[in-house]
Structure 1
């Protein structure tokens, strides 16, 4: 059989045709979905008593249906927004958070007499919002922190022992710089309360565990609901610049320094201490690793629930607790480090961990964002639009200061390679 080589121009035409067909099918799919939605709305308006229960429209929007409709709309549109790439910068999963804030805000504006759409009206006291900020948010946080612990576990303690002093000093300095910047913001705008600025701090540093710890700290207070709303709003206002600011800093700093990234990558590989593990000699209960992951989560929750009194007042005074986040992270790091218990494998597949990490983060940002959007209306009506403006400016300041302080310390004082310095900043 004789073959003829394809010319470059012909290949380009075929590739273009495939792209055209792809967009054609996407357009057809969108047209079908929109057509079905329009048909449903028209039927609901023109035939108001088609519901089986005799309700006034064809749809029966239960709380569960509203919850999952909002959740999956936010996730779908959020990931679409996150996939937009402008000169190498994209929001990624943070797109879910921004859309969640927007949807939460819009749903809180729906009036009670909006007919078909009144089922999607969200308030601070509604059970749907309670599920978003409670069940979904905490489930996502546990999945995210647990998967991060398993991923980091195999090399965490080795690398920590090797570079313990350097990374501890750098981490402490970055946190202190962020804290001092936050204190300055509190002094400049005390009218919004320290709780709001703590939320801004966690959002500016994109610290999911910090955000969770802040809410845990005020859980037992008298005005816990209002304070939690302030923390959530502060986190929501500062988070977008926290994400974009770090991405821009990491991408632009090497260009500003005119660094040879090939040489920097070689330095990083030379200092790495990653070892491949052979799990074949251990017994596996199942292939995905959900069993060891589940056991580690349970152990972490139990560890995090331990409370130690710090004064003579006992449990009525100040107490220390690792909390949900700390307990789960520590136990998953330990499970990931050892990798087996006797002949029983504790391996969780890398693909499984990546999915759990991404899904957990999406759930957490979904819950926090919707709640933040709903509370935005109440807080703005109480404090005015200044709370958002101050939060954004202060958040940008809190994002920028620790990055520059940490980078200068790591690069020029601790003499870390460029990529190690940038990596420490993203972790700090």
Structure 2
């Protein structure tokens, strides 16, 4: 039997399955009330992605005769971005539908506060990145712009940054992209750990917060008869396609900012929350079986996080040292200050319940992995309502501050 081991181990599905399996095993390990849960796949993906690229792909970067598996990875990344987007959309759609029942009450009760949180978090991130250029001299401002959008895990922010520097040459675009790749993983790690550590450090009684939230929303846990509620595949796909349509809508914001759009992720989130809140349109039923939606959420989140690790593993782990190490530290600081500013204002000024605030913080960071960590930590999908309420305004702030950041003097 002719078995090609290298072709097998570099197959994207093998890499994903291996990262997810090992990640779920690691995620079950608990240390002082902290465990990674589904986020374990992020870290196993980082290590596996780094090892596979270094051993099997790196030697062919400048070679003429390149094997098919290496050529695919060099052209498309360790995992194709289409697969990355598909799992992300499935996760966002399922979470949005699960959380949609309370979105109307959440917006009425917290709406303006979430607008401010989204802008405060993104502004703090931009300001901290800019101030770090005075502490650490010799940094490239275009790389710092990439660090900013990476540390707040914002793909639309990256798109805005690349569009803004589009006429300045490929080298400058590459610096923005490098900064994003370096900043993304620290940003993800900070949000994931924050969802676990903040309740411990600030002595937040999570169970009490959940009960208070139920009373605020005047909702009760309901038992669902699975036999009487069908999972509407057609409705789920309709949510996704409407979300893609919403994400493509571009609003002109003037000559400086140009166009603002939610992108695929934001569009699907808004679509799921609105259609799930409406409940039913004609023969389309958007109040779907929560157990099946929960299963889709868990599976897609695990795969999504593993893909993030695999795609960014080599870049992240090889940049530790020199200026790359400085950029990683800046990304950690930027993400930490951004999320802490949102927490302090949201908790002690706006007095927002932790269930909603945890989601709003992840939305303010535009962090889908953080949303997964928050759901995992609180054992509740209700946090997605806060995420959905703050996300659009954070995205708007992200695009504005991204464009302004690289233009500031250093």
**TM-score (normalised: structure 2):** 0.71
From 23, 39, 58, the equivalent of 1:94 is 39
Q: C-alpha distance in 2, partners of 1:308/1:264?
A: 38
Matches within 5 A, 1:6-405: 50-51=1-2, 58-59=3-4, 62=7, 66-110=11-55, 126-127=74-75, 129-130=76-77, 132-189=79-136, 193-194=140-141, 196-197=143-144, 200-201=147-148, 204-205=151-152, 207=153, 210=154, 212-217=155-160, 221=166, 223=170, 227-254=176-203, 266-274=211-219, 287-310=230-253, 318-342=258-282, 344-376=284-316, 380=319, 385-405=321-341
Q: Which moved more, 1:415-424 or 1:86-95?
A: 415-424
Could you tell me how far apart the structure 2 residues matched to 1:232 and 1:124 are? 19
- Cα-to-partner distance string for 1:36-91 (whole Å, 9 max, x where unaligned): xxxxxxxxxxxxxx43xxxxxx3376579722221211111122222211111011
Distance in 2, Cα, partners of 1:156 & 1:113: 47
Cα distance per residue 1:144-165 (max 9 Å; x no partner): 2222221222211222112223
**Number of residue-to-residue matches in the alignment:** 350
- Contact 2:150–2:182 under 8 Å retained in 1: no
CA contact (8 A) 2:145 2:161 kept: no
CA gap 1:74/1:194 in 2 versus in 1, 3 angstroms? farther
How far does residue 184 in structure 1 lie from its aligned partner after superposition?
A: 2.0
SS at match of 2:245: helix
In the aligned structure 1, how far is the partner of 2:112 from the partner of 2:25?
A: 41
**Aligned mates of 2:205, 2:50 — CA distance in 1:** 46
Change (3 A) 1:302 1:417: closer
Q: CA deviation at 1:230?
A: 3.4
> How large is the Cα RMSD of the aligned pairs?
3.8
How far apart, in 1, do the equivalents of 2:11 and 2:52 lie?
11
Preserved CA contact (<8 Å) 1:133 1:368: no
Q: TM-score, normalised by structure 1?
A: 0.68
CA 1:294/1:420 → structure 2, altered by over 3 Å: closer, same or farther?
closer
How far 1:239 moved relative to its partner? 2.6
- Gap regions ≥5 residues in structure 1: 1-49, 52-57
CA contact (8 A) 2:20 2:41 kept: yes
Deviation at 1:405?
A: 2.9
Larger-Rg structure: 1
Alpha-carbon distance in structure 2 between the residues aligned to 1:73 and 1:106: 13
Q: Distance in 1 between matches of 2:87 and 2:134?
A: 34
2:381 corresponds in structure 1 to: none
Contact 1:241/1:395 (8 A) holds in 2: no
Name the CA distance, whole Å, in 1 between partners of 2:208 and 2:330.
37
Q: Contact between 2:252 and 2:258, CA under 8 Å: does it hold in 1?
A: yes
- The 3 A distance-change label for structure 1 pair 421 and 214 is closer
Answer 1 or 2: higher relative contact order, Cα 8 Å, separation at least 6.
2
TM-superposed CA distance for 1:337, in Å, is 0.8
CA distance in structure 1 between the aligned counterparts of 2:5 and 2:73, rounded to whole angstroms: 21
Is the Cα contact below 8 Å between 2:231 and 2:292 reproduced in 1?
yes
